[in-house]
Amino acid sequence: MPTELATPAPTAPLSSLEGAQPLQRLIGELQAELPQLEVRVPSALTREYAVDASTRGRLAGIDIGPAVAFPSTAAEVQVIVRTAAELGIAVVPRGAGSGLAGGATADERQLVVSTERLDRVVEVSPLDEVAVVEPGVINADLNRHLEPYGLFYAPDPASWDISSIGGNIATNAGGLRCAKYGVTRESILALDVVLADGALVHVGHRSIKGVTGLDLVSLFVGSEGILGIVVAATVRLRPIPVARRTVSAFFATTAAGADALAAITRSTVRPSVVEFFDSRTLANIDAHSGSTLTARGGALLLIELDGYGIDEQSADLRAALEAVGGLVTEESVEDGEALWELRRSGRGFDPAEWFAGGDIAVPKSRIPEIFAHFPVVEERFGVTVGAVAHAGDGNLHPVITLRIPEGADPGVVPPQLHDAAVALAEFALELGGTVSGEHGIGSSKLGLAALELSERSREAQHAIKRALDPAALFNPGKAI
Amino acid sequence: MPTELATPAPTAPLSSLEGAQPLQRLIGELQAELPQLEVRVPSALTREYAVDASTRGRLAGIDIGPAVAFPSTAAEVQVIVRTAAELGIAVVPRGAGSGLAGGATADERQLVVSTERLDRVVEVSPLDEVAVVEPGVINADLNRHLEPYGLFYAPDPASWDISSIGGNIATNAGGLRCAKYGVTRESILALDVVLADGALVHVGHRSIKGVTGLDLVSLFVGSEGILGIVVAATVRLRPIPVARRTVSAFFATTAAGADALAAITRSTVRPSVVEFFDSRTLANIDAHSGSTLTARGGALLLIELDGYGIDEQSADLRAALEAVGGLVTEESVEDGEALWELRRSGRGFDPAEWFAGGDIAVPKSRIPEIFAHFPVVEERFGVTVGAVAHAGDGNLHPVITLRIPEGADPGVVPPQLHDAAVALAEFALELGGTVSGEHGIGSSKLGLAALELSERSREAQHAIKRALDPAALFNPGKAI
């Protein structure tokens, strides 16, 4: 809760529901039917539920937040959705609010359904290699819970310490290990979902295989809350690998490092993680973290190997990367962890700069071209561009920055940052890529999505949306 | 083409389309618009297109088959679908006809669209690790094509020598390697699909990651031809593993072998294939192939390891299986290949027996229970039941047999075979399983699907079907 808010919460006129606004009626009906359910009325105190992690900058312009309900059972979610449907109130499902595309933004006429109290690990079955979890479980908490079993849940978005499984499902979250272990969709076997009429359905299977009916699990995964609210998920687990090893490979230039990715692809080694840092990113990390990465080279491939035969894997990887000029080091456990910590938290955002981000992906052979395009964008828009790439799956997150001129208002971001981000997304599309690799479309990227998807393809998506939510009450204006 | 058919093909009255039946009008219009397109009129010669591999027994009762079109371009498929839609003719997409659930059955009022001439491998990109293929490409042909690149396409349904990629996509085909490499869905990155109005859409991405819009790729995969016709697929490839090894583990009894699966799960080894043969299956193979498997034990786990550290993997696997009483052998390349050949082709079907099959899956910890239930079903229905299981993913294919009594009509299968299959499917559901692991629902298993899926879940599926095919012209009466 932002501490600067001192306004007391307004009290809704619950005593007289006749003639009340629909949202007030909804709140009243929920309080009558579910007295144990906490529902917060729209107020200054609910402002944080109006935004996600990517749109917190808008908070200053928001006086009143949405209504927020905090169900702790699936049955409560059903009542909430059914009642909202009867009254025609839009429902915005919300996980941990860590989204990066405005997928959970909401206004004072809407009801946010927070899943944060649906936070039980219902079951862990080592012999089925599944866990059943509620959507509010934080990704990292699930993995801490699984560690004593020798198991892990593979999808590892960079937000894993703060993002929830439900939010991960809503965005089909990616992460670092996806090239080897798949994105979130590949780890979701079954879902319990509350549909737009309040019905609870179980879809999917508890086995790897199962083809009865259309694959509704995959349809709900990545649907950003526009088709239903996930209230439980059966997730696939895997044994913690017998070994893990960090290998670094430094190259003279960004171009040399990007070109070296092909050497990994041509080899028989498939690392669990391949992160590519360009020159600007290494310099940024050194400046902000006091590290000395740039002394080792102008670009870095930071690689994690795992599984059996780690020495053989490491030798094959070394041979492949040295053949293309890499300075290859098998890192000690401590040095490796220090490098991954720099990956996670080493970069800084200078308050004297404006910045804009991106989430593009390209076919992995085109990674050298997208990095080679950064200087073109820099020159055209007068900005600087650097990126770390999840290079194994073609996904990268460009960071576009511009120094704030003396006397300028830091809150007024000049259009060239946005324009540069769009230009990069357009170039990714030219390369056969996508405007969103793993963050989703939300409310922020509908324009970019329209560049990628054909009119007919979007029509098909809207037809499916109408089929499952004819009144368009689930997370309106998002995703499609 | 069945050789016993001597009836000449009737000629449709193409000269006068006015007043012709809709299907004849459709054929006439297609011949006018696409003179190069082969379209066969409904006749005795198209009877084989009325059935799939599981329904060939019905051929004797079919006089006239469906109309069949053989497009060789996506544009032809578009014209066919658009024209059929205008005339209200049902379209039945068909791959290689190797399906096992009646998914491609068609009658003389319908137009089958065969994808067998859409059979080009359009592109192989080793650096993107993808291939772009047309749907008529045979699974094994694709892998032969890929071998010089050191790459393979992982999904390996047992029908891989005869089934097409398009059919594999339609059924979300499984296979032996799924526990490690996933089912077909996990290897399909993008699709070109002709929708019910004849529009061609491209959905998906050429990178592992990509979350723009709803996941229509996964929706089309496994949709059994009821939502669209796939005319091209971008499939994920993987490097051929650096090593493969076959390990056999014999156990005294079916129960001991089934129980031993848990020992693999508890270990850190994840084989690429784990096939479990029960005692009846081993006896059947020995009887039909002259092998001596039963001399080695009463049940068999036939395992393939692959990848790095094959000796370490093998040692850990041996330790795990010997600890639960397994007689473990690391097979030579020749002996291993002989065992896999027995797995693929060693079983026989005695013409003196009726038989029925199944395709159930259960959570993998429940495999011992489903095998322990076979004697219950045998006693209750007076049949015999045996199975091979893709044990790593919980999928098994029970074979139910009954000796045909002296003088009985072999063509009149007594109901207890079907009833026994249903009883096994019901028991699989009790165990938290599914009535179809990998073959699909088609026209044969709609009753079983209704046992598994809730009314509301089926309603949601039908709503999606109506959204994409409002006139219900794609493969009517199948899948959902």
Cβ–Cβ below 8 Å for A458 and B213: yes
- Check CB contact under 8 Å for B209 and A390: yes
How would residue B4 be classed by pLDDT, with cut points 50, 70 and 90? very low
pLDDT in tens, B249-308: 999 999 999 999 999 999 999 999 999 999 999 999 999 999 999 999 999 999 999 999
Count H helices and E strands in chain A, helices first: 14, 19
The answer to whether B263 faces chain A, any CB pair under 8 Å, is: no
Looking at chain B, which residue has its C-alpha nearest residue A215?
A: B219
Residues in A closer than 8 angstroms to B187, CB to CB, are none
State the pLDDT at residue B1.
28
Contacts of B186 in chain A (CB under 8 A): 182, 186
User: Which residue among A207, A395, A433 sits closest to B362, beta carbon to beta carbon?
Assistant: A207
How far apart, in whole angstroms, are the C-alpha atoms of residue B62 and residue B267? 53
Nearest to A31, CA basis, from A80, A75, A88, A101: A80
In chain A, the residue whose alpha carbon lies closest to the alpha carbon of B218 is A218
Q: How many CB pairs under 8 A join A and B?
A: 297
Q: Tell me the per-residue pLDDT of A434-462, one tens digit each, with 9 for 90 and over.
A: 999 999 999 999 999 999 999 999 999 99
Whether residue B413 contacts residue B355, with contact meaning beta carbons closer than 8 Å, is answered with no
**Looking at the partner chain, which of A183, A212, A464 has a beta carbon nearest the beta carbon of B214?**
A464
What value does the mean pLDDT take over residues B169-196? 96
pLDDT (tens digit per residue) in A326-346: 999 999 999 999 999 999 999
Joined tokens for residue B467 = 């959204």
Mean pLDDT of A133-141: 98
In this predicted structure, the answer to whether residue A2 has a pLDDT above a threshold of 90 is no
Please give the pLDDT value at position A20: 60
CA distance B172 to chain A (A): 7
The widest CA-to-CA distance across chain A, in whole angstroms, is 77
CA distance B99 to chain A (A): 13
Distance from CA of A374 to the nearest CA of B (A): 20
Residue B421's pLDDT band (cuts 50, 70, 90): very high
- Confirm or reject contact between A206 and chain B (CB < 8 A): yes
> Distance between CA A191 and CA A21 in Å, rounded?
34
Sheet holding A130-133: strands in order across? A121-125, A130-133, A229-236, A188-194, A200-204
Task: Note whether A219 contacts B464, CB cutoff 8 Å.
Answer: yes
Under the banding of pLDDT at 50, 70 and 90, the label for residue B20 is low
* Pairing, β B244-251 against β B327-330: antiparallel
Query: How far apart are alpha carbons A284 and A372 in whole angstroms?
Result: 19
Distances (CA, A) of A302 to A87, A240, A285: 53, 20, 14
Does residue B6 have a pLDDT over 50?
A: no
Render A227-281 in DSSP notation, one character per residue.
Answer: S-EEEEEEEE-EEPPS-EEEEEEEESSHHHHHHHHHHHHHSS---SEEEEE-HHH
In chain A, what percentage of residues exceed pLDDT 90? 95
Average pLDDT, rounded, for chain B: 95
Alpha carbons A315 and A313: distance in angstroms, whole number: 5
Determine the residue among B129, B209, B275 to mutate to test chain A binding: the one whose Cβ has the most chain A Cβ atoms within 10 Å: B209
In which band, very low, low, confident or very high, does the pLDDT at A321 lie, cut at 50, 70 and 90? very high
- In this complex, do A215 and B218 lie within 8 Å of one another by their Cβ atoms? yes
Helix, strand, or coil (residue A381): helix
B439 in contact with chain A, both atoms CB, cutoff 8 A: yes
Rounded average pLDDT over A278-288: 97
Tell me whether residues B185 and A215 touch, CB distance under 8 A. Answer: yes
**Cβ contacts (< 8 Å) between A467 and chain B: which residues?**
460, 463-464, 466-467
- Whether B18 has a pLDDT exceeding 60, the answer reads no
A58 reaches B (C-beta below 8 A): no
Measured CA to CA, the distance from residue A190 to residue A11 in angstroms comes to 40
A192 CB-near residues (< 8 Å, 6+ apart): A74, A200, A201, A202, A230, A231, A232, A233
**Which of B215, B436, B445 has its CB closest to that of A218?**
B215
8 A C-beta contact, residue B304 and residue B271: yes
Q: Give me the pLDDT at residue A416, please.
A: 96
B209, B435, B463: residue with CB nearest A212: B435
Query: Does B426 reach chain A within 8 Å, measured CB to CB?
Result: no
Q: Is the pLDDT assigned to residue B343 strictly greater than 80?
A: yes
What is the pTM (predicted TM-score) of this model?
Answer: 0.95
**Chain A residues within 8 A of B445 when measuring between CB atoms:** 212
- Alpha carbon A120 to its chain centroid, in Å, reads 21
Distance CA A240, CA A307 (A): 9
Is residue B374 a contact partner of residue B398, using CB atoms and an 8 Å limit? yes
- CB interface of A with B, residues 118-147, below 8 Å: 125-130
Q: In chain A, which residues have their Cβ closer than 8 Å to the Cβ of B172?
A: 211, 215
Q: Which long-range contacts (CB under 8 A, 24 or more apart) does A17-24 make?
A: A22/A87, A22/A88, A22/A89, A23/A67, A23/A87, A23/A89, A23/A108, A23/A109, A23/A110, A23/A111
Whole-angstrom Cα distance, residue B75 to residue B271? 43
Nearest to B438 among A129, A209, A313 (CB): A209
Distance (Å, rounded) from C-alpha A471 to C-alpha B397?
43
Residue B414: what pLDDT? Answer: 96
Q: What is the pLDDT of residue A7?
A: 34
pLDDT one-digit tens code per residue, A238-264: 999 999 999 999 999 999 999 999 999
| B463 contacts on A by Cβ (under 8 Å) | 467-468
- How many other C-beta atoms lie within 10 A of the C-beta of residue B287? 14
Which pLDDT tens digit goes with each residue over A363-377?
Answer: 999 999 999 999 999
Q: Domains of chain A by range and CATH?
A: 14-114 (3.30.43.10), 121-239 (3.30.465.10), 244-345 (3.30.70.2190), 353-439 (3.30.70.2740)
The mean per-residue pLDDT over the stretch A178-198 comes to 97
CA distances from A87 to A9, A24, A27, B167 (A): 24, 10, 11, 45
- The predicted structure's pLDDT at residue A166: 98
pLDDT reading at A18 higher than 60: no
Most confident of A18-27, A161-170, B51-60: A161-170
Interface of A with B in 357-416 (CB under 8 A): 361-365, 390, 392-395
Per-residue DSSP letters for A393-454? GTEEEEEEEEEPPTT--TTS--HHHHHHHHHHHHHHHHTT-BS-SSS--TTTSHHHHHHHS-
Mutate to test the interface with B, among A211, A226, A244, A445 (most CBs of B within 10 A): A211
Q: Taking CB atoms and an 8 Å cutoff, what residues of chain A touch B268?
A: 150, 239-242
Taking an 8 Å cut-off on Cβ atoms, the answer to whether B440 and A211 are in contact is yes
Q: Whole-angstrom Cα distance, residue A336 to residue A313? A: 17
Query: Which residues of A are less than 8 Å from B461 in CB distance?
Result: 213-214, 216
Q: How far is CA A341 from the centre of its chain?
A: 19
What is the distance between the alpha carbons of residues B365 and A130, in angstroms, rounded to a whole number? 11
How far B213 CA sits from the closest chain A CA (Å)?
A: 6
Query: What pLDDT, on the 0 to 100 scale, is given for residue A8?
Result: 37
B272: tokens are 């690429």
Mean pLDDT of the region A407-415: 93
Report residue B81 CA to chain centroid gap. Answer: 25
Determine, for residues B464 and A461 on separate chains, whether the beta-carbon distance falls below 8 Å.
no
- The secondary structure of chain B, three-state, reads CCCCCCCCCCCCCCCCCCCCCHHHHHHHHHHHHCCCCEEECCCHHHHHHHCCCCCHHHHHHCCCCCEEEECCCHHHHHHHHHHHHHHCCCEEEECCCCCCCCCCCCCCCCEEEECCCCCCEEEEECCCCEEEECCCCEHHHHHHHHHHHCEECCCCCCCCCCCEHHHHHHHCCCCCCHHHHCCHHHHEEEEEEECCCCCEEEEECCCCCCCCCCCHHHHHCCCCCCCCEEEEEEEECEECCCCEEEEEEEECCHHHHHHHHHHHHHCCCCCCEEEEECHHHHHHHHHHHCCCHHHHCCEEEEEEEECCCHHHHHHHHHHHHHCCCCEEEECCHHHHHHHHHHHHHCCCCCCCEEEEECCEECCHHHHHHHHHHHHHHHHHHCCEEEEEEEHHHCEEEEEEEEECCCCCCCCCCCHHHHHHHHHHHHHHHHCCCECCCCCCCCCCCHHHHHHHCCHHHHHHHHHHHHHHCCCCCECCCCCC
Predicted confidence at residue B411, as pLDDT, reads 87
User: B residues 448-467 near A, CB within 8 Å?
Assistant: 448-449, 452-454, 456-458, 460-461, 463-467
Whole-number pLDDT of residue B21: 87
Burial (CB count within 10 angstroms: exposed 0-12, middle 13-18, buried 19+), residue B256: middle
Judge: A461–B239 Cβ closer than 8 Å, yes or no.
no
- What average pLDDT score do residues A73-88 get? 98
pLDDT-based confidence at residue A4 (cuts at 50, 70, 90): very low
Closest chain B residue to the Cα of A242, Cα to Cα: B268
Q: Cα separation of A334 and A478, whole Å?
A: 43
State the residue for tokens 């937000």.
Answer: A159
- Report the chain A residue with the minimal C-alpha distance to residue B460: A468
What pLDDT score was predicted for residue B193?
98
Cα radius of gyration rounded to whole Å, chain A: 23
What is the residue-averaged pLDDT of chain A? 95
Q: Which pLDDT value is given to residue A21?
A: 87
**For the segment B71-89, what is each residue's pLDDT rounded down to a tens digit?**
999 999 999 999 999 999 9
* Nearest CA distance, A2 vs chain B (angstrom): 31
